Amino acid sequence: MEALHSATRAALDAAARGVRGANPLVGAAVLWDDGTFTTGYHHGAGTPHAEPEAIRNAAPRSTAGATLVVTLEPCSHTGRTGPCTQAIIDAGIRRVIIASRDPNPSASGGAQILTEAGVEVVFLNDLGQPWAHELATRAHGLNARWFAAVTHDRPFITAKIAQSLDGCVAARDRTSQWITGAESRAHAHLTRARVDAIAVGTGTAHADNPRLTARTETGAGAPQQPIPVVFGTTPLPTDSHLARNPRALTFTDVGAGLRDLHRRGVSHLLIEGGPTLMAHFLQHDLVDELHVYTAPLLLGDGIRSPLSVDTLAHGLRFVPDALPEALGSDTFTRFMKEV
């Protein structure tokens, strides 16, 4: 039991090193009968899942007859990668310990498939140990917002804000190019390249005529391009980049649009503004993760998101998800919405 406790903690710590988005944070550990273990984690959308990673990291040692601890129920589907249930069966794993269920209808059901294949499946909460309950709670907490998004049939939503030190996203005359520096913009393009879709409001679509493409450091297009999305009722100028892009989607209703996007396979959506759309998403508790780039600049009575907050207790609280990072003279901080 001591070894299982340590392996579960290690799987959770490994999970936290991953990147959230189209996938939740997931870690796994292969645990042998002698109490030693090796871990693996999911590095982000399109990369192998945690279980095959842990199994691969176990090499050259045989995984036959070993226990696999995983922070999320192994998937049963072929998405961007193959089903983890099959990888586990092929590796000869005898017992799987699961910390949290996968609420994603298209990937769930892995526990049952494993049981039917003769693998012993145990949920951490059913061990009846206080430490197990505590770690199961931690596993759930790690992905609470991701679980909520998939349960509500919408993508996981990241909002990007590029702001001045005093929280303005544009100067009073609405000029906003460029508040943040080149390093911040390059960093933001890496995020663009790993999301499934990027959305702006019609105001921004009119004012900036954006392409919403992901570019690499050389300025070339990234191999995987997100779907451009516009929310709003004002028609786009016919000669704008977005109006001319046959992949671009326009929605007048945010709720219906999010459901439609999710059903089209958009698991991770990036919101890039402007301030009105940002306020709408924030006010409706639709921002799961916040990426804030802050430039060393004061803009005084510039433009902010028109969030309606009447008293301190009604402010929207976020929790830092990682330490702030220096990007040139800017700082980057990632926050998660409090559940």
Report the residue number, 262 or 280, with the smaller CB distance to ligand AOF.
262
Spatial separation of the C-alpha atoms in residues 156 and 151, rounded to whole Å? 10
* Residue corresponding to tokens 């976020």: 318
Q: How far is the CB of 261 from ligand AOF (least distance, A)?
A: 14
Q: How far is the CB of 163 from ligand AOF (least distance, A)?
A: 31
Q: How far is the CB of 5 from ligand AOF (least distance, A)?
A: 21
Side-chain-side CA neighbours of residue 32 (13 Å): 11
Select the residue interacting with ligand AOF from 30, 68, 74, 229 (CB under 6 A): 74
**Of the ranges 5-13, 46-54, 173-181, 245-253, which one interacts with Zn ion (CB under 5 A)?**
46-54
> Of 204, 215, 338, whose CA–CA distance to 278 is shortest?
204
Does 23 bind ligand AOF (CB under 6 A)? Our answer is: yes
Report the residue number, 39 or 305, with the smaller CB distance to Zn ion.
39
The one of Zn ion, ligand AOF, none whose footprint includes residue 104, by CB under 5 to 8 A per kind, is ligand AOF
Select the residue interacting with ligand AOF from 12, 26, 91, 336 (CB under 6 A): 26
Select the residue interacting with ligand AOF from 19, 32, 79, 129 (CB under 6 A): 79
Whole-number Cα distances in Å, 192 to 196, 197, 307:
8, 8, 25
User: What does the angle CA 75 – CA 43 – CA 136 come to, to the nearest 5 degrees?
Assistant: 55
> Taking CB under 5 A as the rule, which mask of x and - marks residues 80-109 in contact with Zn ion?
----x-------------------------
> How many residues of this chain interact with ligand AOF, rule: CB under 6 A?
18
Report the residue number, 83 or 232, with the smaller CB distance to ligand AOF.
83
**Of the ranges 70-78, 111-119, 289-297, 304-312, which one interacts with ligand AOF (CB under 6 A)?**
70-78
| The two three-digit tokens of residue 149, written as one number | 């998004």
Contact yes or no for 73/101 (Cβ under 8 A) = yes
Contact yes or no for 326/134 (Cβ under 8 A) = no
Spatial separation of the C-alpha atoms in residues 222 and 174, rounded to whole Å? 29
Assess whether 134 carries a catalytic annotation. Answer: no
Report the residue number, 81 or 333, with the smaller CB distance to ligand AOF.
81
The one of Zn ion, ligand AOF, none whose footprint includes residue 42, by CB under 5 to 8 A per kind, is ligand AOF
Whole-number Cα distances in Å, 70 to 52, 146, 191, 311:
11, 17, 27, 42
Spatial separation of the C-alpha atoms in residues 290 and 338, rounded to whole Å? 11
| The two three-digit tokens of residue 158, written as one number | 């990241």
Does 129 bind ligand AOF (CB under 6 A)? Our answer is: no
What residues contact residue 282 under an 8 Å CB cut-off, 6+ apart?
159, 305, 307, 316
What residues contact residue 118 under an 8 Å CB cut-off, 6+ apart?
none
Structural Rg of the chain based on CA atoms? 22
Report the residue number, 72 or 269, with the smaller CB distance to Zn ion.
72
Side-chain-side CA neighbours of residue 338 (13 Å): 6
Active site residues: 51
Which residues contribute to the site for Zn ion (CB under 5 A)? Answer: 49, 75, 84
Positions that interact with ligand AOF (CB under 6 A): 23-24, 26, 42, 49-51, 72, 74-75, 79-81, 84, 102, 104, 107, 267
